[in-house]
Structure 1
Amino acid sequence: MTIFSTLSRLEAENRSFALLQIVESRGSTPRHSACMVVTEGGEVHGTIGGGMLERLAIERARAAVVEGASCLFHGRLARQGENAVGSDCGGAVTVHIAVYPRRPELFLLGAGHVNREVARAAQALDFQVTVADTWQANLEHPELPTACRRVSGKDYAAIVPQLGLDEQSYVVIATNHEDREALTGVIGLPVRYLGLLASRRKAHHFRNVLRKELGMAEQEIARLHAPLGLDIHAETPAEIAISILGELVSLYRGHRVTPQVTPTDGEAQAAACQQEIAVTG
């Protein structure tokens, strides 16, 4: 398999990888022009010359994939001194390590009006989109982009394990009447983003469910974005989709996105009392 067919396969599988290429070579070195691929899982395809030089370059490439940042690797085929790799050949190489992160994966639980708009806009932003629903008719809606992966099941307890959620997953919950089931199935998983389409009142209710009925710690509950999206006073499904994706893009590009916080029961009651005093006083 050639490097190019390997790169094509990795892109189709949406896997992170680094492409290593010798960009400068001086003196006696095993290779003067070569490239290789190192995947997020540690697979290696091709060679830039072998030996300690290649081993150290692979280690740096694996770290670069985790960091999500391209870099240069300098290696001197010497036993001592800066960038020495423990060899006596005497030459030196510079390797460009280009990191290609996987496309962001967006999982939409519920295929109603808002999530259909989110799916349409997300694909234009190069998100890989999975849509899940317990109602098959929603997954067959003509406005749902054809490229979306579709997952169905009798309930969200059956659906969530099929999704393959991990630390790089973005999840948006907007079901017809199964938000609680979807939320409880995902809240304990280490996803990068978890958002619930909800008013402040509804968000407050669900946080209390997590807190009082499920006994979840405040630190876990704090991960929930509800209400979700940027505050742009959105009203229509298309406007709401833009507000959600604005928040996701900001997070994907490395900016901190803090979930909106609804008050606890005591705070809510205190706020209500203060409002009543202000009105009647």
Structure 2
Amino acid sequence: MTSGTAQADLTIFDNAPELALQWHREGVGAVLCTVVQTWGSAPRRTGSQLVVAGDGRMEGSVSGGCVEGAVILEAQAALEAGTHKLLEFGVSDDDAFAVGLACGGTIKVLLEPVGHTLKTEVLEALVLARTERRPLAYEVDLTSGQGHLVNIASYPDRMRLDRSGVEEDGTTFVAVHNPPLRLIVVGAVHIAKALLPMARIAGYDPVLIEPRAAFGSAERFPGERILDDWPDEAVEKLGLDARTALVLLTHDPKLDDPALMAALRGECFYIGALGSKRTHGQRHQRMIAAGFMQDDIARIHGPVGLDIGAASPAEIAVSILAEMTAVLRGKAE
């Protein structure tokens, strides 16, 4: 049995392409607005997107609020004209301070009307790839507005760093579309009840694995995606790619270890396991006995989470999410 959504959901922070395609198909029209260049400490990074519908609806953000109004008006004009447009805004010190910056700067936003310069078939292929967790890059000429999807091998550094941006020629913008971050949690315990919604807010698509029906019920975890398979079977179905974090919370080697072994053979960027130092030492020995090398086992963060003195389940969840973030962003010690 699986409760919740049957396929990988994209978070509300990263669904602009999907929403743009939906609004276009509904016949109201849509414009995808993308940050292509900005100042160094901007509240929205390069590649951030806002989608504007022909009826005035909007979702997303390109600046934190200081230029959205102007972008929406320009987007509706671009949709009516059926042409792309590159906007440039000089943000004043006062406006920058209002959205959390120390000083102002410049922001450039590309407007792409769906079905015109942004071809429907290109957007459909992009949305399909995102649904299937296949990384892609979208390359667009800022002068002509013509864009197309390219193989990730064309931009290995950008894909690895998850960094969209303008190339050295000054006219080619590359939007990186890596699979959404995903968190797989094994064990429907109190920590999981706090960790899953926190992770979703941070941009993860969370999945809970719990074969014990009394623990992993929809009543205890309303709205969550729950797999009641054995953990090794569940992670095999889900896949463990480089955009996936795995957190083991059961304390039960019969449940944790099969998933852990699958993770050590996979590409998870983060593997965390609950338990004391003594418990982790025993886990270490079991992995050695299973044939894993020391370098493999060193990928396991155990005891799980940063040492922040966490006591309650919610505080432990905070520590886990913080450690996941540090590892993802290359800030882990």
TM-score interval w.r.t. the shorter chain?
0.5 to 0.7
The alignment partner of 2:257 has SS state of: helix
Task: Indicate yes or no: 2:292 matched with 1:173.
Answer: no
| Equivalent residues of 1:120, 1:145 under 8 A apart | no
* Amino acid of the structure 1 residue aligned with 2:164: S
| Equivalent residues of 2:165, 2:174 under 8 A apart | yes
Gaps of 5+ in 1: 25-31, 41-58, 76-92, 259-281
Q: Give the corresponding residue for 1:37.
A: 149
CA deviation after TM superposition for structure 1 residue 199, in Å: 1.0
> What is the aligned-residue identity percentage?
25
Matches for 1:114-133 after TM superposition, within 5 Å: 114-133=191-210
1:124-158 C-alpha deviation (Å, 9 max, x unpaired): 11101111111133332434251x433222x3343
For residues 182 and 10 of structure 1, the distance between their equivalents in structure 2, rounded to whole angstroms, comes to 26
For residues 73 and 231 of structure 1, the distance between their equivalents in structure 2, rounded to whole angstroms, comes to 40
1:60-87 C-alpha deviation (Å, 9 max, x unpaired): 3465334422233466xxxxxxxxxxxx
In structure 2, relative to structure 1, the CA distance for the partners of 1:38 and 1:207 (3 Å cut) is same
Q: Identify which of 234, 237, 245 aligns with 1:162.
A: 237
For residues 185 and 11 of structure 1, the distance between their equivalents in structure 2, rounded to whole angstroms, comes to 24
In structure 2, relative to structure 1, the CA distance for the partners of 1:13 and 1:194 (3 Å cut) is same
The alignment partner of 2:308 has SS state of: coil
For residues 234 and 320 of structure 2, the distance between their equivalents in structure 1, rounded to whole angstroms, comes to 23
Number of equivalences: 212
1:154-211 C-alpha deviation (Å, 9 max, x unpaired): x334333222112332100012533334333433333211110111111112112223
Structure having the higher Rg: 1
In structure 2, relative to structure 1, the CA distance for the partners of 1:69 and 1:157 (3 Å cut) is closer
Q: Give the corresponding residue for 1:201.
A: 278
| Equivalent residues of 1:104, 1:128 under 8 A apart | yes
The alignment partner of 1:187 has SS state of: helix
* Amino acid of the structure 2 residue aligned with 1:103: P
1:8-63 C-alpha deviation (Å, 9 max, x unpaired): 44444444332222113xxxxxxx331112365xxxxxxxxxxxxxxxxxx63465
In structure 2, relative to structure 1, the CA distance for the partners of 1:129 and 1:13 (3 Å cut) is same
Task: Indicate yes or no: 2:141 matched with 1:22.
Answer: yes
CA deviation after TM superposition for structure 1 residue 215, in Å: 3.8
Q: Give the corresponding residue for 1:71.
A: 165
For residues 74 and 185 of structure 1, the distance between their equivalents in structure 2, rounded to whole angstroms, comes to 41
For residues 145 and 137 of structure 2, the distance between their equivalents in structure 1, rounded to whole angstroms, comes to 17
CA deviation after TM superposition for structure 1 residue 109, in Å: 1.1
* Amino acid of the structure 2 residue aligned with 1:20: E
The alignment partner of 1:138 has SS state of: coil
Matches for 1:1-281 after TM superposition, within 5 Å: 1-24=120-143, 32-38=144-150, 40=152, 60-61=154-155, 64-73=158-167, 94-146=171-223, 148-153=224-229, 155-175=230-250, 177=252, 178-211=255-288, 213-255=289-331, 257-258=332-333
| Equivalent residues of 1:15, 1:39 under 8 A apart | no
The alignment partner of 1:165 has SS state of: coil
| Equivalent residues of 1:131, 1:149 under 8 A apart | yes
In structure 2, relative to structure 1, the CA distance for the partners of 1:127 and 1:145 (3 Å cut) is farther
For residues 141 and 263 of structure 2, the distance between their equivalents in structure 1, rounded to whole angstroms, comes to 44
For residues 168 and 302 of structure 2, the distance between their equivalents in structure 1, rounded to whole angstroms, comes to 47
